[in-house]
């Protein structure tokens, strides 16, 4: 049997698990301090829900669960691939939340402010920064069209990032409605906009020439591609420039309200308009935002407004907006820089002879008022064992029955 993990998944050593616990705990405490309430949903969802969730390219990354027993045999006999699966693993936490709200809204406040911190799964090609099993840390506000919801999510997420010591960052904002208005001005047709947005979303990876090449390959009009290229090559493309192109667009005012509101209470991070910000999920309907680390480069959080997704379950429009912290990205950053958990209790090992077990237990119990204490029967090769303790993050040891104090490593 294989002892390695499935590709795209990880085992975590005690020291790594301790950091992950610390990060999740700090994020959760911050969210809760701002009035959000935690919920939990199953990792498995109905495959029909997942397939109709407008999750963009993530829909191609769903882990599907085969039917069981007679139902599977019948599907195999029918040679109908679409009938083989009836469930799948969630690829994010937004679709499960939408189903959850539709199922439980009579028991919930409106607007409903919730927390989800849990595992999600995507059938990615495993590589650095892309896992098949990973955690997301989400907050969402459901039931209000007010732009104060976006501002509150940005403020809460920024506070969480500061509390876990991620360093300097910048918040970028765009609006799907404004972006689509600009694309229509460039000459693209309404039914083409989602496909164009998917290409623009790759700008930071393939560059402007790569985006133009992909749009050409999709068969869009050369004139429209050239007009879009002029917009994307304008540095910087400001909100004022967007307003000049689309003076009738209300979404310009929406972005300006969010920018001004965040700047009014914040003096610690930049918040800017970015026309190239897309966010890959197709369910976003208005504001989209992303947090970019200015110290370590790359996105560390993102989200947006999805006013139509819950309506797929209820046949009515329910406004919603959410923000998700990129937990695995942040864990990787802090691990690489050797981040130390602040104010943690020191880890102490008490080594004892078996004949001294009971008094050694009493001694360890006294130490636990100020330390985390583990007990071990004293091994023959004590020196090597102590080296291993140090590797695992132990701060000190005491050999019961010997004179002296705790030996700190």
* Per-residue model confidence as pLDDT tens digits over 221-269: 889 999 999 888 888 889 999 998 898 889 999 999 999 999 998 878 9
Extract the annotated binding site for L-histidine. Answer: 92-94, 122, 136, 140, 279, 283-284
Binding residues: 92-94, 122, 136, 140, 279, 283-284
Average pLDDT, the chain: 91
Q: What is the largest CA-CA distance in the chain?
A: 87
- Most confident range (mean pLDDT) of 31-35, 188-192, 213-217, 366-370 is 31-35
Does this model's pTM top 0.95?
no
Give the model confidence (pLDDT) of 328-353 as tens digits: 999 999 999 989 899 888 999 999 99
* Higher per-residue pLDDT: 78 or 24: 24
User: pLDDT confidence of 140, banded at 50, 70, 90?
Assistant: very high
| pLDDT at residue 114 tops 90 | yes
Question: Can you give the residue ranges of every domain in the chain?
Answer: 14-205+231-336, 347-408
The answer to whether residues 339 and 167 touch, using CB atoms and an 8 Å cutoff, is no
User: Cα separation of 397 and 386, whole Å?
Assistant: 8
Q: HSE on the CB side for 173, CA within 13 Å?
A: 28
125, 155 in Cβ contact below 8 A?
Answer: no
For the chain, percent of residues with pLDDT exceeding 70: 99
Alpha carbon 8 to chain centroid, angstroms? 16
| Higher-pLDDT residue of 116, 60 | 116
* The pLDDT value given to residue 325: 95
Which CATH number is 14-205+231-336 given?
Answer: 3.30.930.10
Under DSSP, is residue 353 helix (H, G, I), strand (E, B) or coil? coil
**What pLDDT is stored for residue 152 in this prediction?**
97
Mean of the pLDDT values across residues 148-166?
A: 95
| Main-chain phi, psi angles of 369, to 5 degrees | -65, -30
Closest C-alpha among 41, 42, 38 to residue 114? 38
- Sign of dihedral through CA atoms 92, 95, 98, 103? negative
Q: Over the stretch 274-323, which tens digit does the pLDDT of each residue have?
A: 998 988 777 899 999 999 998 887 899 999 999 999 999 999 999 999 99
Take residue 66 and report the two structure tokens written for it: 């085969």
| pLDDT number for residue 314 | 93
Query: Judging by beta carbons within 10 Å of its beta carbon (0-12, 13-18, 19+), is residue 98 exposed, middle or buried?
Result: buried
Q: Which of 42, 28, 145 is nearest to 100 (CA)?
A: 42
Q: Which of 149, 164, 124 is nearest to 293 (CA)?
A: 164
More confident call, 236 vs 44? 44
pLDDT above 90 (res 384): yes
Average pLDDT over residues 213-222: 89
C-alpha–C-alpha distance, residues 54 and 176, integer Å: 15
pLDDT: which is higher, 164 or 58:
164
């Amino acid at each position: 049997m294989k002892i390695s993990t499935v590709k795209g998944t990880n085992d975590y050593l005690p020291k790594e698990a301790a950091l992950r616990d610390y990060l999740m705990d700090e994020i959760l405490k911050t969210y809760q301090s701002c009035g959000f309430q935690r919920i939990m949903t199953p990792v498995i969802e109905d495959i029909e829900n997942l397939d109709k969730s407008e999750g963009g390219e993530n829909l191609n990354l769903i882990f599907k669960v085969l039917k069981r027993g007679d139902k599977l045999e019948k599907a195999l006999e029918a040679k109908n691939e679409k009938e083989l699966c009836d469930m799948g693993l969630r690829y994010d936490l937004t679709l499960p939340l939408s189903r959850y709200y539709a199922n439980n809204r009579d028991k919930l406040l409106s607007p409903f402010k919730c927390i989800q911190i849990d595992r999600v799964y995507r059938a990615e090609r495993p590589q650095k920064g892309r896992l098949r099993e990973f955690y997301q840390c989400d907050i969402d506000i459901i039931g209000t069209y007010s732009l104060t919801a976006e501002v509150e999510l940005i403020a809460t997420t920024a506070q969480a990032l500061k509390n876990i010591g991620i360093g300097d960052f910048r918040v970028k904002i765009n609006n799907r409605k404004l972006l689509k208005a600009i694309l229509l001005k460039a000459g693209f047709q309404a039914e083409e906009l989602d496909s164009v947005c998917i290409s623009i979303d790759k700008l930071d990876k393939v560059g402007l020439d790569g985006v133009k090449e992909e749009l050409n390959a999709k068969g869009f009009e050369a004139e429209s591609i050239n007009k879009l290229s002029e917009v994307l090559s304008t540095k910087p493309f400001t909100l004022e420039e967007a307003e000049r192109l689309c003076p009738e667009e209300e979404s310009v005012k929406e972005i300006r309200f969010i920018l001004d509101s965040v700047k009014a209470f914040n003096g610690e991070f930049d918040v800017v308009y970015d026309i190239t910000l897309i966010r890959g999920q197709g369910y976003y309907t208005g504001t989209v935002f992303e947090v970019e680390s200015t110290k370590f480069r790359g996105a560390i959080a993102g989200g947006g407004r999805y006013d139509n997704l819950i309506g797929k379950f209820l046949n009515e429009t329910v406004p919603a907006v959410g923000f998700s912290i990129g937990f695995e990205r942040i864990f990787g950053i802090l691990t690489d820089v050797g981040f130390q958990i602040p104010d943690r209790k020191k880890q102490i090992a008490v080594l004892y002879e078996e004949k001294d077990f009971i008094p050694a237990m009493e001694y360890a119990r006294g130490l636990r008022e100020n330390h985390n204490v583990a007990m071990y029967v004293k091994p023959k090769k004590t020196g090597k064992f102590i080296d291993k303790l140090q590797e695992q993050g132990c701060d000190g040891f005491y050999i019961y029955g010997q004179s002296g104090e705790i030996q700190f490593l």
